[in-house]
A and B are shown apart, each in its own frame.
Chain A
């Protein structure tokens, strides 16, 4: 008679799986709401500006030296990895990203996780911070919760485009 097996074992190496844990979008969404509720909207801006200035500093440097192609490459890489629906258009010195299905919002909706309308500020503020440090400017027009937006990037400061 064999001994009754009661153990379940799962043993994995890093190379056994692809790194793509989409629930992290939900954790970030919770973090944005927490900052808003606890400290106010300025805290969200401060935190995201900090993140854009530290973690994304190498991307700012690439944007400054290589131009908009560096940004286009980064966004394409992220969106393809996460199966977003998007187009990227480059016309002279303007880069336009049209998002028709944001993969983060799609995942939050699909799994019934928290969604806050302020979530898209992650895109707005991070883009602005990356661009400002590189001598570029950005805009992002979005409809909260729809998973759609239009992001525009161009060289120069915001003041250059006011007239």
Chain B
């Protein structure tokens, strides 16, 4: 059994494998498939509770991943943000000597979550400009009617 604590390098190596087989397109196709098949819990929470569902989803997953973050839900302004000060996944990849992290590793967070949230009527944005330092900023907004 691969421990869940060893999943991140396994995930990155999967991206590397898929890229060697079919280029970036093959990696993105996998992300799209995973979003559809696996993120049903986020989809259900966001559909039923809106931004509060996003808060509920990520407050559990990021605590289980021991992330270093600040999450803010402002229902009045219709905005939810995650300021990731140290991403547990990218942070681990940067520390492991025996693998080369997939260069576009952090982009999976763009594809997976955008694909869930935009069809539900949210605006989704993720700033990955600091991802080489395991930092990012995720923003979800209610679309103005």
Partner-B contacts on A (CB < 8 A): 4, 6-28, 30-31, 34, 39, 43, 46-47, 50-51, 54-58, 78, 81-82, 84, 99, 102-104, 114, 122-123, 126
- For A27, list chain B residues within 8 Å (CB): 7, 11, 34, 38
Main secondary structure on A side of the interface with B: helix
Query: Which residue of chain A is the closest to B20 with respect to CB atoms?
Result: A50
Q: Is there contact, CB below 8 Å, between B63 and A12?
A: yes
Q: Is there contact, CB below 8 Å, between B1 and A102?
A: yes
Pick the 8 closest A-B CB pairs, nearest first: A24-B7, A6-B76, A21-B64, A19-B66, A24-B4, A8-B73, A10-B71, A55-B9
Count of B residues near A, CB < 8 Å?
45
Known: A10-B55, A22-B4, A27-B7. 14 other contacts (CB 8 A): A4-B76, A8-B73, A9-B72, A12-B68, A12-B69, A17-B66, A17-B67, A21-B65, A23-B4, A28-B11, A55-B98, A58-B98, A78-B3, A123-B1
- For B59, list chain A residues within 8 Å (CB): 10
Query: Could you list some 7 contacts between A and B, CB below 8 A?
Result: A12-B62, A22-B4, A28-B2, A57-B98, A104-B2, A122-B2, A123-B2
